[in-house]
Amino acid sequence: MNDGLARLKARLEEIQGLDAISLLLAWDHRTMMPPGGSAQRGRHLALLQRLGHERLIEPETGRLLEELAPLEDSLDPASDDASLIRLARRRYEKALRVPPALTAEMVRVAAESMPVWVEAKATSSFDLFLPSLERSIELRRRYIECFEPRDEPYDVLLDDYEPEMETGDVRRIFDEIKPELMTLIAGQRDGNIDDSFLTGDFPVERQAALAREVVELFGTRPDTWRIDPTEHPFAAAAGIDDIRITTHYYPNRLDGLFATMHEYGHGLYEHQIPRSFAHLPIGNAASLGLHESQSRLWENLVGRSLPFWRFFYPRLRELFPEQLGDVEVERFYAAVNTVQPSLIRVYADEVTYGLHVILRFELEQDMINGRIELRDLPEAWNRKMRDYLGVEVPDDARGVLQDMHWASGSIGYFSTYLLGTVMSVQIWEKATEALGDLEGLVEQGEFAPLREWLGEHVHVHGRKFSPQETLRRATGSTIDAKPYVAYLTRKFGAPVAA
Amino acid sequence: MNDGLARLKARLEEIQGLDAISLLLAWDHRTMMPPGGSAQRGRHLALLQRLGHERLIEPETGRLLEELAPLEDSLDPASDDASLIRLARRRYEKALRVPPALTAEMVRVAAESMPVWVEAKATSSFDLFLPSLERSIELRRRYIECFEPRDEPYDVLLDDYEPEMETGDVRRIFDEIKPELMTLIAGQRDGNIDDSFLTGDFPVERQAALAREVVELFGTRPDTWRIDPTEHPFAAAAGIDDIRITTHYYPNRLDGLFATMHEYGHGLYEHQIPRSFAHLPIGNAASLGLHESQSRLWENLVGRSLPFWRFFYPRLRELFPEQLGDVEVERFYAAVNTVQPSLIRVYADEVTYGLHVILRFELEQDMINGRIELRDLPEAWNRKMRDYLGVEVPDDARGVLQDMHWASGSIGYFSTYLLGTVMSVQIWEKATEALGDLEGLVEQGEFAPLREWLGEHVHVHGRKFSPQETLRRATGSTIDAKPYVAYLTRKFGAPVAA
């Protein structure tokens, strides 16, 4: 191997290693750590981030990238090495623009804001959170100023979560989706689905056994995953053979099962990154949006489908006979697909979910562009909830304070939830085209073909390409809202079988 | 603060942070990690170690230490800052002598040897392990050559575990102890203690609840500890407010309870390091020996004492009425103090334990000095087991292969177990002198005075001083085998109350 390339790889492997260690520490923070360890954990995470950042922006990185430019030009741009050099250059050039003092302040303010948000949410007091939000937005504006002017300032933030995607692109997609969702919601008949049996007695130990069973059913390599309970479900890959997903078991509801399927999708993406470059920065998912496409695919297109429940419902009924003994599969399927506008994004159904995201995407731009006074944010939030979902927000805890993203400084993140959902349908349809009767396979409990197809057509690329190029290679098309709208219309536009 | 000192502290805080993160990763490896993550975890641990080592030996460290020499001379040598500079200089000078390539090879060979040892132990095949041991000993010889010649080559290895202690010092102490232990063992009457009730049905969940109860009884700050089950118990401090101990619950025995008390002692040491310097290298325990003095103190001087059981036995009997309902406290006390020569160090009683350690200490020197052919090690082991303990070793799994230390490259470590035990008695006696009726306090279930005394007289110093200076400050004396021998003779020389 070219000596410069070997040295660049050694350097990037260190940075990737520090990132993976940070993920493990963050997982531990949320699952295992005694609460007393919190302050020190924050300092350790900041240390790892700073060491990785320092390594990345050392002059030697720039020198190696310059030295490797001719090699990069001579390689197939789709090769692992060319992709690695391209990605490293992109990260290096972005990192160089941001003064370490600003990065450190962003980390510090996020750490300080989180407990303030927790308290503000607990007391439903937006005023308490407002100063933190003001500092956070101010820091994002300074961050944006580190970069060349873009069409819209928000582009800079979005690029950190969905690389090479522009605000205008997202807006066009969301503008196409919004009226369709509102029409679908308007068309829902109220109260004609009895889902009362979804509330009751679902013993937590049986739910935990069920989570393990479902993950095993969908498929993993042996001895490589674990599942733990947390307040908010998430997935963390400490490595391709060390996948940790979490879920939340409510003793009276089955939501944790769908969360498990969702996190399985995230975990599988990381699990199927090619071993040959998993230790390098191209060994990550292409973007948060593509990551979400995988979680939504397993949660919704598999996990909320009638074929899946035709296969799996007998087992579920066996586990919870008191609750489900009298309920036929079609009624169960209809109940877990009830469309009902509600206050909280993370509990929203497939149809209303998109509007929760669009609302946040719009408000974030207004905040960044200064089109809204931050103190007026609750009012703007509540107005949009009324306009889009017909829901009255009773307090800020169930309104503008519900998500932790803004407290943690993750501004620009929300749109990836809906972008991912849109892409999940494109990927599902391409998989169906490739595998033939995919629904039939699901109905037989055969998940290996889907899992392997995703591995070979999506996960195989890691972060070698932009998310849109990755999607194009997998499906032949970049992002397109039409399959998603058509899927929702098929599933929810006509009366659901009940 | 002096600017150079501030910069040295920032640098050392990074190194200490990387060490603490490594401890967390090692804990996770042994408690939580899916087995598939093993290879990557090894690479991540090696990365953290290398980054810390590189930071330590950077020329800037040397420059700062030189710049700070006058400041160090002007400070009280017992001050935190002088102690920090002194310790940093010691670590820097040691680290500079060892080529990074050698360190890396030692880490790599240890990682490769561990699974070989596991397999060798499982099949009781020393021949399988021999090549690994040969490489490991060869690497230690090369390591020793990096340093100025000492009185004995083994001094160099010992110094990594018990700083500033010499092989000759240890040998003199052990030579004093060895005949006393052999005399005590010879004086034990066989078969007159009925401990059959210690084997039976001890439900694991109740043992786990008991472990939490005992740790709470001994005392910790709230929300700062966790206890998990592992194959081999250990303690890991991810931070002074993030203490993780592990134990092993055997469904038919109570050994896990004593392991919990042992690990509590280790955990408490780290827990009571002063907050003002816990983030710096002086915020560690002074040595492995002193660490062990704390674990042995809580396990033996508290946990195997009659006053403790007079207080706690009713609770134990309440938890395990089927096993202990008919057993009086004196019989229980006698049973958990049975002296019986046996094969396995980690199950050995207070009297025979020391001979297990002395045997290893002697063999390690013979290996390093080339006084023994490595292939003859099992024979030498078995002969010493016969000579010291009168025990016939049936196979190498229960003989020379029983401990993981040599596989992991920890040569020079074993003696600290006995040094710590010796020091535990000195510390206990000093605490008794200071607190008055310490046994009486224990019998009333009052552990705060002991815990606080240890904090104020031992833990308070962290790693500011050498272990012997730390012991001298706590007790007025450096290491002395006489109190230990006298304690064992008092407890085991006369017939135990039965």
pLDDT in tens, B129-180: 999 999 999 999 999 999 999 999 999 999 999 999 999 999 999 999 999 9
- Suggest the residue from B47, B242, B280 to mutate for an interface test with chain A (most A CBs closer than 10 A): B242
* Measured CA distances, B159 to A92, A343, B155, B381, B496 (Å): 43, 63, 6, 24, 39
Cβ pair B450, B195 in contact under 8 A: no
C-alpha to C-alpha distance for A14 and B370, rounded to whole angstroms: 39
Burial of B74 (0-12, 13-18, 19+ CB in 10 A): exposed
Taking CB atoms within 8 Å and a gap of at least 24, the contacts of B231-236 are B231/B30, B232/B30, B232/B346, B232/B404, B233/B259, B233/B260, B233/B262, B233/B263, B234/B30, B234/B263, B234/B266, B235/B263, B235/B266, B235/B267, B235/B270, B235/B295, B236/B23, B236/B24, B236/B26, B236/B27
Residues of A in contact with B32 (CB under 8 A): 32, 226
Partner-chain contact B223 A35, CB within 8 Å: yes
ipTM score for this prediction = 0.93
Average pLDDT over residues A267-287: 98
**Average per-residue pLDDT in chain B?**
95
pTM, 2 dp? 0.94
Which secondary structure element, helix H or strand E, spans residue B469, and what is its range?
A: helix B467-475
Residues of A in contact with B36 (CB under 8 A): 221-224, 241-242
Q: At A236, phi and psi to the nearest 5?
A: -140, 125
> What pLDDT digit, counting tens, does each position of A278-333 carry?
999 999 999 999 999 999 999 999 999 999 999 999 999 999 999 999 999 999 99
Chain A closest-CA separation from residue B20 CA (Å)? 9
Q: Which of A334, A43, A271, A392 is nearest to B18 (CA)?
A: A43
List, by residue number, the catalytic residues of A: 263
Whether A497 shows a pLDDT value over 50: the answer reads no
pLDDT at residue number B268: 98
- Reading the block at residue A144, the tokens are 């944006």
Cβ pair B100, B50 in contact under 8 A: yes
C-alpha to C-alpha distance for A474 and A457, rounded to whole angstroms: 5
Q: At B223, phi and psi to the nearest 5?
A: 60, 35
* Measured CA distances, A239 to A29, B18, B41 (Å): 17, 19, 9
> What pLDDT digit, counting tens, does each position of B76-128 carry?
999 999 999 999 999 999 999 999 889 989 988 988 898 999 999 999 999 99
Q: At B151, phi and psi to the nearest 5?
A: -55, -45
C-alpha to C-alpha distance for A249 and A231, rounded to whole angstroms: 9
B263, B350, B362, B364: which one is catalytic? B263
Q: Which of A388, A295, A405 is nearest to A343 (CA)?
A: A388
pLDDT at residue number B80: 98
pLDDT band per the 50, 70, 90 thresholds, residue A495: low
Whether B193 shows a pLDDT value over 90: the answer reads no
Whether B191 shows a pLDDT value over 80: the answer reads no
Q: What DSSP designation does A298 have?
A: I
Partner-chain contact B47 A18, CB within 8 Å: yes
Average pLDDT over residues A351-366: 98
Partner-chain contact A37 B225, CB within 8 Å: no
> What pLDDT digit, counting tens, does each position of B290-305 carry?
999 999 999 999 999 9
Closest partner residue to A25 (CB to CB) among B21, B33, B35 is B21
Cβ pair B300, B492 in contact under 8 A: no
Average pLDDT over residues A43-48: 93
Q: Chain A, 238-297: which have a CB under 8 Å from a chain B CB? A: 238-239, 241-243, 279
C-alpha to C-alpha distance for A206 and A321, rounded to whole angstroms: 12
pLDDT at residue number A343: 97
Q: What DSSP designation does B217 have?
A: H
Partner-chain contact A51 B239, CB within 8 Å: no
CA angle (B264 as vertex; B211, B492 as ends), nearest 5: 90
Cβ pair A305, A425 in contact under 8 A: no
Average pLDDT over residues A376-385: 98
Whether A233 shows a pLDDT value over 90: the answer reads yes
Average pLDDT over residues A459-465: 98
Q: Which one is predicted more confidently, A100 or A293?
A: A293
Average pLDDT over residues B425-435: 98
C-alpha to C-alpha distance for B46 and B450, rounded to whole angstroms: 39
Beta bridge partners of A226: A244
Handedness of CA A343, A345, A347, A350 (dihedral sign): positive
pLDDT at residue number B194: 85
Chain B closest-CA separation from residue A215 CA (Å)? 14
Q: Which of B246, B300, B291, B247 is nearest to B272 (CA)?
A: B291
pLDDT at residue number A190: 57
* Measured CA distances, A388 to A178, A184, A364 (Å): 8, 12, 17
Average pLDDT over residues A237-252: 96
> What pLDDT digit, counting tens, does each position of B354-388 carry?
999 999 999 999 999 999 999 999 999 999 999 99
C-alpha to C-alpha distance for B474 and A88, rounded to whole angstroms: 55
Residues of B in contact with A24 (CB under 8 A): 25, 28
Contact with chain A for residue B37, Cβ under 8 A: yes
Q: Which one is predicted more confidently, B343 or B495?
A: B343
Amino acid at A69: A
Cβ pair A298, A218 in contact under 8 A: yes
Partner-chain contact A18 B226, CB within 8 Å: no
**Average per-residue pLDDT in chain A?**
95
Which secondary structure element, helix H or strand E, spans residue B81, and what is its range?
A: helix B80-97
Q: Which of B41, B419, B467, B80 is nearest to B274 (CA)?
A: B80
Return the minimum-mean-pLDDT range out of A355-364, B292-301, B370-379, B488-497.
B488-497
Q: Which of B418, B496, B498 is nearest to B188 (CA)?
A: B496
Whether A189 shows a pLDDT value over 80: the answer reads no
pLDDT at residue number A498: 41
Q: Which residue has the tokens 């829902």?
A: A188
Q: Which one is predicted more confidently, B498 or A258?
A: A258
The number of beta carbons lying within 10 Å of the beta carbon of residue B321 is 10
Whether A496 shows a pLDDT value over 50: the answer reads no
Whether B495 shows a pLDDT value over 60: the answer reads no
Cβ pair B437, B256 in contact under 8 A: no
Cβ pair B113, B408 in contact under 8 A: yes
Closest partner residue to A17 (CB to CB) among B17, B47, B243 is B47
Cβ pair A159, A165 in contact under 8 A: yes
pLDDT at residue number B498: 41
Return the minimum-mean-pLDDT range out of A24-28, A60-64, B35-39, B435-439.
B35-39
Average pLDDT over residues B315-340: 96
Closest partner residue to A36 (CB to CB) among B20, B242, B279 is B242
Partner-chain contact A21 B18, CB within 8 Å: no
pLDDT band per the 50, 70, 90 thresholds, residue B68: very high
